[in-house]
Amino acid sequence: MIMKKYKELVKEFNNEYTSKELSSAYLGAFFYTTIIAIPLLIAIAQIVSVYLYWLTFWLVLIIIVMFLLNYIFHRLTLKALKLKKPESKVDVWKLFIYQQIVINIFFVIIGLIFQLILIPMWMV
Amino acid sequence: MKELTKHYLPIIKALIIPYLFFFFVLFYPIAYFVDTPGGITEVESIISVDYNQDKEITGTISSTYIVSINRPTFFQFMLSSFSDYNYANVIRGTYANYTNEEINQISYLDKETSVNAAVIVAYQKAQDLNQDIIIDYYEKVMVFGKATYLSYYDDIEFGDEFLYLIGDSDQVVDDHTQIGPNTQNASSYEFFFKNSEGETYSRILTKDEETNLFGITLKLYYLVNKDTIFPKYQEQSSNIGGPSGGLLQTLAIYNMLVEEDITKGLKIAGTGTINYDGSVGYIGGVEQKIITAYLNKVDVFFIPFLSETYTYDNYLEALRACEKHGIDPTGWLVPVASFQDALDYLAGLE
Protein backbone atom coordinates (compact mmCIF):
# COMPACT_ATOMS: atom_id res chain seq x y z
CA MET A 1 0.00 0.00 0.00
CA ILE A 2 2.74 2.42 1.00
CA MET A 3 4.83 1.43 -2.02
CA LYS A 4 1.85 1.99 -4.30
CA LYS A 5 1.26 5.46 -2.88
CA TYR A 6 4.95 6.22 -3.18
CA LYS A 7 5.07 5.12 -6.81
CA GLU A 8 2.04 7.26 -7.60
CA LEU A 9 3.67 10.27 -5.98
CA VAL A 10 6.91 9.70 -7.92
CA LYS A 11 4.92 9.45 -11.14
CA GLU A 12 3.04 12.67 -10.36
CA PHE A 13 6.27 14.38 -9.41
CA ASN A 14 8.05 13.30 -12.60
CA ASN A 15 5.18 14.62 -14.70
CA GLU A 16 5.36 17.98 -12.95
CA TYR A 17 9.11 18.62 -12.76
CA THR A 18 11.87 18.09 -15.31
CA SER A 19 15.12 16.44 -14.22
CA LYS A 20 16.90 19.77 -14.82
CA GLU A 21 14.57 21.56 -12.40
CA LEU A 22 14.98 18.80 -9.85
CA SER A 23 18.78 18.69 -10.07
CA SER A 24 18.92 22.49 -9.78
CA ALA A 25 16.76 22.35 -6.64
CA TYR A 26 18.85 19.53 -5.16
CA LEU A 27 22.08 21.37 -5.93
CA GLY A 28 20.87 24.57 -4.26
CA ALA A 29 19.57 22.69 -1.22
CA PHE A 30 22.79 20.71 -0.96
CA PHE A 31 24.88 23.90 -1.17
CA TYR A 32 23.00 25.68 1.58
CA THR A 33 22.72 22.57 3.76
CA THR A 34 26.50 22.13 3.46
CA ILE A 35 27.03 25.74 4.52
CA ILE A 36 24.97 25.04 7.64
CA ALA A 37 26.47 21.56 8.21
CA ILE A 38 30.20 22.41 8.06
CA PRO A 39 30.46 24.68 11.13
CA LEU A 40 27.84 22.64 12.95
CA LEU A 41 29.71 19.36 12.52
CA ILE A 42 33.10 20.94 13.30
CA ALA A 43 31.60 22.40 16.48
CA ILE A 44 30.21 18.99 17.47
CA ALA A 45 33.58 17.35 16.76
CA GLN A 46 35.21 19.88 19.09
CA ILE A 47 32.56 19.30 21.75
CA VAL A 48 33.26 15.57 21.50
CA SER A 49 37.02 16.17 21.83
CA VAL A 50 36.54 18.14 25.06
CA TYR A 51 33.83 15.91 26.57
CA LEU A 52 34.93 12.55 25.21
CA TYR A 53 33.66 10.76 28.32
CA TRP A 54 30.08 11.39 27.16
CA LEU A 55 30.83 9.89 23.77
CA THR A 56 27.65 7.78 23.55
CA PHE A 57 25.53 10.83 24.30
CA TRP A 58 27.33 12.82 21.58
CA LEU A 59 26.85 10.00 19.11
CA VAL A 60 23.11 10.18 19.72
CA LEU A 61 23.28 13.96 19.31
CA ILE A 62 25.20 13.60 16.02
CA ILE A 63 22.53 11.24 14.70
CA ILE A 64 19.82 13.75 15.70
CA VAL A 65 21.80 16.55 14.00
CA MET A 66 22.06 14.40 10.86
CA PHE A 67 18.25 13.95 10.98
CA LEU A 68 17.94 17.72 11.27
CA LEU A 69 20.30 18.35 8.34
CA ASN A 70 18.38 15.80 6.32
CA TYR A 71 15.18 17.69 7.15
CA ILE A 72 16.75 21.04 6.24
CA PHE A 73 18.01 19.63 2.94
CA HIS A 74 14.55 18.39 1.99
CA ARG A 75 12.86 21.58 3.21
CA LEU A 76 15.22 23.65 1.06
CA THR A 77 14.68 21.37 -1.94
CA LEU A 78 10.94 21.74 -1.46
CA LYS A 79 11.31 25.51 -1.20
CA ALA A 80 13.38 25.63 -4.40
CA LEU A 81 10.79 23.53 -6.25
CA LYS A 82 7.93 25.69 -4.96
CA LEU A 83 9.78 28.83 -6.00
CA LYS A 84 10.25 27.35 -9.47
CA LYS A 85 6.59 26.36 -9.82
CA PRO A 86 4.38 28.07 -7.24
CA GLU A 87 1.25 26.82 -8.97
CA SER A 88 2.20 23.12 -8.61
CA LYS A 89 -0.33 20.94 -6.78
CA VAL A 90 1.92 17.91 -6.26
CA ASP A 91 2.37 16.95 -2.59
CA VAL A 92 6.19 16.96 -2.81
CA TRP A 93 6.63 17.00 0.97
CA LYS A 94 4.85 13.66 1.33
CA LEU A 95 7.25 12.18 -1.20
CA PHE A 96 10.19 13.66 0.69
CA ILE A 97 8.97 12.17 3.98
CA TYR A 98 9.51 8.70 2.56
CA GLN A 99 12.99 9.66 1.38
CA GLN A 100 13.86 11.15 4.75
CA ILE A 101 12.79 8.03 6.60
CA VAL A 102 15.05 5.88 4.41
CA ILE A 103 18.01 8.27 4.81
CA ASN A 104 17.44 8.52 8.59
CA ILE A 105 17.46 4.73 8.89
CA PHE A 106 20.81 4.80 7.06
CA PHE A 107 22.15 7.36 9.60
CA VAL A 108 21.01 5.16 12.50
CA ILE A 109 22.78 2.15 10.96
CA ILE A 110 25.99 4.17 10.49
CA GLY A 111 25.68 5.38 14.11
CA LEU A 112 25.31 1.84 15.39
CA ILE A 113 28.36 0.72 13.37
CA PHE A 114 30.35 3.51 15.03
CA GLN A 115 29.03 2.72 18.51
CA LEU A 116 29.42 -1.03 18.37
CA ILE A 117 32.40 -1.59 16.07
CA LEU A 118 34.50 1.44 15.14
CA ILE A 119 34.66 3.34 18.45
CA PRO A 120 35.70 0.25 20.51
CA MET A 121 38.41 -0.34 17.88
CA TRP A 122 39.69 3.24 17.98
CA MET A 123 39.61 3.74 21.74
CA VAL A 124 42.62 1.56 22.44
CA MET B 1 19.89 27.45 -6.61
CA LYS B 2 19.30 30.95 -7.94
CA GLU B 3 15.77 30.95 -6.53
CA LEU B 4 16.98 29.94 -3.09
CA THR B 5 19.76 32.53 -3.09
CA LYS B 6 17.33 35.26 -4.14
CA HIS B 7 14.75 34.19 -1.57
CA TYR B 8 17.15 33.93 1.36
CA LEU B 9 19.45 36.86 0.42
CA PRO B 10 18.38 39.12 3.34
CA ILE B 11 19.06 36.29 5.82
CA ILE B 12 22.40 35.46 4.16
CA LYS B 13 23.46 39.13 4.36
CA ALA B 14 22.49 39.34 8.02
CA LEU B 15 24.28 36.15 9.01
CA ILE B 16 27.49 36.35 6.99
CA ILE B 17 29.53 38.23 9.63
CA PRO B 18 28.41 36.04 12.60
CA TYR B 19 29.04 33.03 10.37
CA LEU B 20 32.62 34.06 9.60
CA PHE B 21 33.20 34.97 13.26
CA PHE B 22 32.01 31.51 14.28
CA PHE B 23 34.53 29.99 11.85
CA PHE B 24 37.27 32.10 13.42
CA VAL B 25 36.29 30.81 16.88
CA LEU B 26 36.27 27.25 15.54
CA PHE B 27 39.71 27.42 13.96
CA TYR B 28 41.84 29.94 15.83
CA PRO B 29 44.28 28.07 18.13
CA ILE B 30 45.46 29.53 21.43
CA ALA B 31 48.66 28.77 23.37
CA TYR B 32 46.94 26.78 26.10
CA PHE B 33 46.44 23.12 26.85
CA VAL B 34 43.24 21.51 28.04
CA ASP B 35 43.13 18.25 30.00
CA THR B 36 39.79 16.48 30.18
CA PRO B 37 38.76 13.06 31.52
CA GLY B 38 39.07 10.25 28.99
CA GLY B 39 38.51 6.56 29.57
CA ILE B 40 40.11 3.28 30.52
CA THR B 41 41.59 0.78 28.07
CA GLU B 42 42.05 -2.88 28.86
CA VAL B 43 45.75 -3.64 28.42
CA GLU B 44 44.79 -7.02 26.94
CA SER B 45 43.35 -5.22 23.91
CA ILE B 46 46.76 -3.68 23.18
CA ILE B 47 49.26 -6.29 24.36
CA SER B 48 48.87 -10.05 24.21
CA VAL B 49 51.35 -12.75 25.24
CA ASP B 50 51.45 -16.11 23.46
CA TYR B 51 51.36 -18.05 26.71
CA ASN B 52 48.85 -19.50 29.17
CA GLN B 53 46.18 -19.19 26.48
CA ASP B 54 43.76 -21.40 28.43
CA LYS B 55 44.08 -19.35 31.60
CA GLU B 56 40.85 -17.71 32.64
CA ILE B 57 41.31 -14.09 33.69
CA THR B 58 38.27 -13.14 35.73
CA GLY B 59 38.88 -9.41 36.13
CA THR B 60 40.35 -6.66 33.99
CA ILE B 61 43.49 -4.57 34.13
CA SER B 62 43.19 -1.24 32.37
CA SER B 63 45.34 1.79 31.82
CA THR B 64 43.71 5.19 32.16
CA TYR B 65 43.90 7.88 29.53
CA ILE B 66 42.86 11.48 29.54
CA VAL B 67 42.28 13.77 26.59
CA SER B 68 45.01 16.36 26.36
CA ILE B 69 44.37 19.05 23.78
CA ASN B 70 47.43 21.13 22.97
CA ARG B 71 46.68 24.55 21.53
CA PRO B 72 42.90 24.17 21.54
CA THR B 73 40.73 26.39 19.39
CA PHE B 74 38.88 29.24 21.06
CA PHE B 75 35.72 27.15 20.89
CA GLN B 76 37.34 24.14 22.62
CA PHE B 77 38.82 26.44 25.24
CA MET B 78 35.42 28.02 25.96
CA LEU B 79 33.76 24.59 26.10
CA SER B 80 36.33 23.33 28.59
CA SER B 81 35.38 26.06 31.05
CA PHE B 82 31.85 24.67 31.44
CA SER B 83 32.96 21.70 33.53
CA ASP B 84 34.92 21.41 36.77
CA TYR B 85 36.32 18.15 35.45
CA ASN B 86 38.45 19.98 32.87
CA TYR B 87 41.70 21.79 33.44
CA ALA B 88 43.11 24.46 31.14
CA ASN B 89 46.37 26.33 31.46
CA VAL B 90 49.05 28.08 29.41
CA ILE B 91 51.54 25.78 27.68
CA ARG B 92 54.81 26.18 29.53
CA GLY B 93 58.32 24.75 29.44
CA THR B 94 59.85 22.98 26.45
CA TYR B 95 56.42 21.94 25.13
CA ALA B 96 55.69 25.61 24.38
CA ASN B 97 58.28 25.45 21.59
CA TYR B 98 57.03 22.19 20.09
CA THR B 99 54.37 21.89 17.44
CA ASN B 100 51.35 19.65 18.12
CA GLU B 101 52.85 17.08 15.74
CA GLU B 102 56.12 17.05 17.69
CA ILE B 103 54.25 16.67 20.99
CA ASN B 104 52.46 13.66 19.45
CA GLN B 105 55.80 12.22 18.31
CA ILE B 106 57.19 12.50 21.86
CA SER B 107 54.00 11.00 23.26
CA TYR B 108 54.20 7.94 20.99
CA LEU B 109 57.93 7.55 21.67
CA ASP B 110 57.11 7.57 25.40
CA LYS B 111 54.38 5.00 24.85
CA GLU B 112 56.63 2.70 22.80
CA THR B 113 59.50 2.78 25.28
CA SER B 114 57.07 2.42 28.19
CA VAL B 115 55.69 -0.82 26.75
CA ASN B 116 59.27 -2.11 26.42
CA ALA B 117 59.97 -1.22 30.05
CA ALA B 118 56.72 -2.92 31.13
CA VAL B 119 57.66 -6.10 29.24
CA ILE B 120 61.15 -6.15 30.75
CA VAL B 121 59.93 -5.65 34.33
CA ALA B 122 57.03 -8.11 34.03
CA TYR B 123 59.09 -10.84 32.38
CA GLN B 124 61.92 -10.47 34.90
CA LYS B 125 59.45 -10.75 37.77
CA ALA B 126 57.70 -13.74 36.22
CA GLN B 127 61.11 -15.39 35.69
CA ASP B 128 61.32 -15.80 39.48
CA LEU B 129 58.37 -18.21 39.25
CA ASN B 130 58.99 -19.74 35.84
CA GLN B 131 62.51 -20.40 34.56
CA ASP B 132 61.22 -21.03 31.01
CA ILE B 133 60.62 -17.32 30.56
CA ILE B 134 63.42 -15.59 28.68
CA ILE B 135 63.89 -11.84 28.53
CA ASP B 136 66.71 -10.20 26.67
CA TYR B 137 67.11 -6.53 25.91
CA TYR B 138 69.53 -4.04 24.43
CA GLU B 139 70.39 -0.40 24.99
CA LYS B 140 69.50 2.36 22.60
CA VAL B 141 70.15 6.07 23.03
CA MET B 142 67.46 8.12 21.33
CA VAL B 143 66.66 11.76 20.68
CA PHE B 144 64.13 12.77 23.31
CA GLY B 145 64.25 16.57 23.21
CA LYS B 146 65.22 19.37 20.87
CA ALA B 147 65.86 23.01 21.71
CA THR B 148 64.85 25.69 19.23
CA TYR B 149 68.53 26.53 18.67
CA LEU B 150 69.48 22.98 17.67
CA SER B 151 71.29 22.98 14.32
CA TYR B 152 69.45 20.99 11.64
CA TYR B 153 66.35 20.99 13.84
CA ASP B 154 64.09 19.64 11.11
CA ASP B 155 66.51 16.90 9.99
CA ILE B 156 66.78 15.28 13.42
CA GLU B 157 63.58 13.53 14.48
CA PHE B 158 62.41 12.50 17.94
CA GLY B 159 63.23 8.81 18.38
CA ASP B 160 66.24 8.86 16.04
CA GLU B 161 69.07 6.73 17.47
CA PHE B 162 72.27 8.46 18.52
CA LEU B 163 75.20 6.36 17.28
CA TYR B 164 78.33 8.37 18.05
CA LEU B 165 80.06 11.68 17.51
CA ILE B 166 83.54 12.67 16.53
CA GLY B 167 84.82 14.44 19.62
CA ASP B 168 88.02 16.24 20.57
CA SER B 169 91.21 14.74 19.12
CA ASP B 170 89.00 12.87 16.59
CA GLN B 171 87.88 10.51 19.30
CA VAL B 172 84.75 8.47 18.59
CA VAL B 173 82.30 9.04 21.48
CA ASP B 174 79.44 6.53 21.56
CA ASP B 175 78.59 6.98 25.24
CA HIS B 176 76.06 9.81 25.43
CA THR B 177 77.08 10.63 29.00
CA GLN B 178 80.59 11.46 27.75
CA ILE B 179 79.53 14.02 25.16
CA GLY B 180 80.21 16.99 27.46
CA PRO B 181 83.76 16.07 28.48
CA ASN B 182 84.71 15.19 24.89
CA THR B 183 83.39 18.34 23.22
CA GLN B 184 85.36 21.04 25.00
CA ASN B 185 87.77 22.36 22.36
CA ALA B 186 85.49 23.43 19.53
CA SER B 187 81.97 24.71 19.01
CA SER B 188 80.92 22.28 16.24
CA TYR B 189 81.07 18.49 16.16
CA GLU B 190 79.82 15.82 13.78
CA PHE B 191 77.03 13.66 15.24
CA PHE B 192 75.91 10.37 13.70
CA PHE B 193 72.30 9.19 13.97
CA LYS B 194 70.10 6.42 12.62
CA ASN B 195 66.54 7.32 11.66
CA SER B 196 63.40 5.18 11.98
CA GLU B 197 63.95 3.79 8.49
CA GLY B 198 67.37 2.46 9.51
CA GLU B 199 69.37 5.00 7.50
CA THR B 200 72.51 6.41 9.10
CA TYR B 201 73.12 10.13 8.70
CA SER B 202 75.41 12.72 10.19
CA ARG B 203 75.00 16.41 10.99
CA ILE B 204 77.49 18.94 12.26
CA LEU B 205 75.90 20.40 15.37
CA THR B 206 77.03 23.74 16.71
CA LYS B 207 76.81 24.79 20.34
CA ASP B 208 74.52 27.68 21.16
CA GLU B 209 76.57 30.75 22.15
CA GLU B 210 74.34 31.65 25.06
CA THR B 211 73.88 28.24 26.68
CA ASN B 212 77.03 26.51 25.32
CA LEU B 213 74.83 23.47 24.59
CA PHE B 214 74.05 21.60 21.38
CA GLY B 215 70.32 21.74 22.15
CA ILE B 216 69.64 18.04 21.92
CA THR B 217 68.41 15.75 24.70
CA LEU B 218 69.45 12.12 24.47
CA LYS B 219 67.95 9.41 26.64
CA LEU B 220 69.01 5.81 27.23
CA TYR B 221 66.31 3.22 26.69
CA TYR B 222 66.29 -0.55 27.12
CA LEU B 223 64.43 -2.23 24.31
CA VAL B 224 63.24 -5.82 24.19
CA ASN B 225 65.08 -8.19 21.89
CA LYS B 226 62.06 -9.64 20.11
CA ASP B 227 64.05 -12.46 18.51
CA THR B 228 65.10 -14.13 21.73
CA ILE B 229 62.24 -13.30 24.09
CA PHE B 230 60.04 -16.20 25.28
CA PRO B 231 57.07 -16.24 25.23
CA LYS B 232 56.55 -13.86 22.31
CA TYR B 233 54.19 -10.96 22.73
CA GLN B 234 52.16 -8.89 20.29
CA GLU B 235 51.47 -5.21 20.53
CA GLN B 236 48.52 -3.70 18.66
CA SER B 237 48.68 -0.18 17.30
CA SER B 238 47.03 2.31 19.60
CA ASN B 239 45.73 5.86 19.36
CA ILE B 240 46.73 6.59 22.93
CA GLY B 241 50.24 7.90 23.62
CA GLY B 242 52.31 8.66 26.69
CA PRO B 243 54.12 6.58 29.30
CA SER B 244 51.52 6.73 32.09
CA GLY B 245 50.14 3.27 31.41
CA GLY B 246 53.49 1.63 32.30
CA LEU B 247 52.54 0.25 35.72
CA LEU B 248 49.24 -1.22 34.55
CA GLN B 249 50.83 -2.66 31.42
CA THR B 250 53.41 -4.35 33.65
CA LEU B 251 50.69 -5.82 35.87
CA ALA B 252 48.68 -7.08 32.89
CA ILE B 253 51.69 -8.66 31.16
CA TYR B 254 52.76 -10.28 34.42
CA ASN B 255 49.24 -11.67 34.84
CA MET B 256 49.45 -13.21 31.37
CA LEU B 257 52.70 -14.95 32.30
CA VAL B 258 51.93 -16.45 35.70
CA GLU B 259 49.55 -19.28 36.62
CA GLU B 260 47.65 -17.33 39.27
CA ASP B 261 45.01 -14.78 38.27
CA ILE B 262 46.05 -11.66 40.16
CA THR B 263 42.90 -9.73 39.15
CA LYS B 264 40.62 -11.79 41.43
CA GLY B 265 37.62 -10.72 39.37
CA LEU B 266 38.20 -7.02 39.98
CA LYS B 267 38.12 -4.08 37.61
CA ILE B 268 41.64 -2.81 38.14
CA ALA B 269 42.90 0.46 36.71
CA GLY B 270 45.55 2.97 37.57
CA THR B 271 48.31 5.17 36.34
CA GLY B 272 52.05 5.63 36.74
CA THR B 273 55.13 5.17 34.62
CA ILE B 274 57.29 2.11 35.16
CA ASN B 275 61.05 2.27 35.56
CA TYR B 276 63.40 -0.57 34.67
CA ASP B 277 63.98 -1.35 38.36
CA GLY B 278 60.24 -1.79 38.93
CA SER B 279 59.68 1.51 40.67
CA VAL B 280 56.87 3.73 39.48
CA GLY B 281 57.13 7.34 38.35
CA TYR B 282 54.93 10.40 38.44
CA ILE B 283 52.44 11.26 35.74
CA GLY B 284 50.45 14.36 34.77
CA GLY B 285 46.71 15.00 34.66
CA VAL B 286 46.03 13.31 38.02
CA GLU B 287 42.73 15.10 38.61
CA GLN B 288 41.30 14.06 35.23
CA LYS B 289 42.49 10.49 35.71
CA ILE B 290 40.81 10.25 39.11
CA ILE B 291 37.57 11.53 37.59
CA THR B 292 37.94 9.04 34.72
CA ALA B 293 38.39 6.20 37.21
CA TYR B 294 35.40 7.39 39.22
CA LEU B 295 33.18 7.67 36.13
CA ASN B 296 34.24 4.17 35.06
CA LYS B 297 33.50 2.72 38.53
CA VAL B 298 36.79 0.87 38.95
CA ASP B 299 37.36 -1.40 41.96
CA VAL B 300 41.05 -0.59 42.41
CA PHE B 301 43.00 2.41 41.17
CA PHE B 302 46.79 2.41 41.62
CA ILE B 303 48.50 5.77 41.82
CA PRO B 304 52.17 6.69 42.43
CA PHE B 305 52.97 7.73 45.98
CA LEU B 306 56.64 8.57 46.35
CA SER B 307 56.79 11.36 48.91
CA GLU B 308 54.63 12.46 51.80
CA THR B 309 56.15 15.92 51.77
CA TYR B 310 56.13 16.74 48.04
CA THR B 311 53.00 18.85 47.38
CA TYR B 312 52.63 17.59 43.82
CA ASP B 313 52.99 13.93 44.70
CA ASN B 314 50.41 12.08 42.56
CA TYR B 315 48.65 10.43 45.52
CA LEU B 316 48.38 13.69 47.44
CA GLU B 317 47.08 15.38 44.28
CA ALA B 318 44.57 12.54 43.87
CA LEU B 319 43.30 13.01 47.44
CA ARG B 320 42.87 16.73 46.78
CA ALA B 321 41.01 15.94 43.54
CA CYS B 322 38.71 13.54 45.42
CA GLU B 323 37.96 16.20 48.01
CA LYS B 324 37.33 18.85 45.33
CA HIS B 325 34.84 16.68 43.45
CA GLY B 326 33.23 15.02 46.46
CA ILE B 327 34.60 11.57 45.64
CA ASP B 328 35.24 9.13 48.49
CA PRO B 329 38.71 7.60 47.93
CA THR B 330 38.26 4.90 50.55
CA GLY B 331 38.80 1.35 49.42
CA TRP B 332 39.68 1.89 45.78
CA LEU B 333 42.45 4.51 45.61
CA VAL B 334 45.68 2.62 46.29
CA PRO B 335 49.03 4.43 46.62
CA VAL B 336 52.03 2.48 45.32
CA ALA B 337 55.73 3.18 44.93
CA SER B 338 56.59 0.14 42.87
CA PHE B 339 55.25 -2.72 40.80
CA GLN B 340 55.89 -4.97 43.80
CA ASP B 341 53.64 -2.77 45.97
CA ALA B 342 50.80 -3.28 43.49
CA LEU B 343 51.37 -7.04 43.44
CA ASP B 344 51.46 -7.16 47.26
CA TYR B 345 48.21 -5.20 47.47
CA LEU B 346 46.44 -7.55 45.06
CA ALA B 347 47.89 -10.60 46.82
CA GLY B 348 46.47 -9.32 50.10
CA LEU B 349 42.93 -9.11 48.76
CA GLU B 350 40.42 -11.84 49.51
pLDDT recorded at residue B258 = 94
A124 vs B5: CB contact, 8 Å cut-off?
no
> In this complex, is the C-beta atom of B67 within 8 Å of any C-beta atom belonging to chain A?
yes
pLDDT, tens digit (0-9, with 9 covering 90-100), for A21-52:
889 999 999 999 999 999 999 999 999 999 99
Q: Which of B22, B83, B239 sits opposite A124 (nearest CB)?
A: B239
Q: Flag the least confident range among B84-98, B153-167, B251-265.
A: B84-98
> In this complex, is the C-beta atom of A42 within 8 Å of any C-beta atom belonging to chain B?
yes
Q: How far is A57 from chain B (nearest CA, A)?
A: 14
Which of these, A122, A103, A102, A104, lies nearest to A114 by C-alpha position?
Answer: A122
pLDDT recorded at residue A14 = 84
Q: Which domains does chain B have, with CATH numbers?
A: 38-69+110-130+233-347 (3.30.230), 140-221 (2.30.42)
Please report which confidence band the pLDDT of residue B94 belongs to, taking 50, 70 and 90 as the band edges: confident
pLDDT recorded at residue A93 = 85
Reduced DSSP (H G I as helix, E B as strand, rest coil) percent helix, strand, coil of chain A, to 5 = 90, 0, 10
Q: Is-contact A56 B33, C-beta < 8 A?
A: no
> In this complex, is the C-beta atom of B21 within 8 Å of any C-beta atom belonging to chain A?
no
Which residue would you say has higher pLDDT here, A9 or B206?
B206
pLDDT, tens digit (0-9, with 9 covering 90-100), for A82-105:
888 888 888 888 888 888 999 999
B1 vs A31: CB contact, 8 Å cut-off?
yes
Mean pLDDT calculated for residue range B139-150: 93
pLDDT recorded at residue B95 = 77
Distance CA B303, CA B318 (A): 8
pLDDT recorded at residue B335 = 97
Mean pLDDT calculated for residue range B222-233: 94
pLDDT recorded at residue B182 = 93
pLDDT recorded at residue A76 = 94
CA angle B102, B104, B105 (to 5 degrees): 60
pLDDT recorded at residue A124 = 59
Distance CA B200, CA B115 (A): 25
Mean pLDDT calculated for residue range B192-206: 95
Q: Which of B3, B26, B46 sits opposite A42 (nearest CB)?
A: B26
Please report which confidence band the pLDDT of residue B53 belongs to, taking 50, 70 and 90 as the band edges: confident
Determine the residue type at B236. Q
pLDDT, tens digit (0-9, with 9 covering 90-100), for B260-316:
999 999 999 999 999 999 999 999 999 999 999 999 999 999 999 999 999 999 999
Average pLDDT, chain B: 93
B41 vs A124: CB contact, 8 Å cut-off?
yes
Percent of chain B with pLDDT over 70: 100
B239 has pLDDT over 80: no
B236: closest chain A residue by CA = A124
Which residue would you say has higher pLDDT here, A2 or B195?
B195
Distance CA B56, CA B62 (A): 17
Cβ-Cβ contacts under 8 Å, A49 against chain B: 67, 69, 76
Mean pLDDT calculated for residue range B197-203: 95
Distance CA B305, CA B281 (A): 9
Distance CA B189, CA B3 (A): 70
Which of these, B329, B321, B330, B295, lies nearest to B37 by C-alpha position?
Answer: B295
Distance CA B244, CA B5 (A): 54
Q: ipTM strictly over 0.95? A: no
Neighbouring C-beta atoms of residue A54, cutoff 10 Å: 15
B26 vs A46: CB contact, 8 Å cut-off?
yes
A124 vs B80: CB contact, 8 Å cut-off?
no
B36 vs A52: CB contact, 8 Å cut-off?
yes
Which of these, A78, A27, A120, A32, lies nearest to B9 by C-alpha position?
Answer: A32
B26 vs A39: CB contact, 8 Å cut-off?
yes
pLDDT recorded at residue A53 = 87
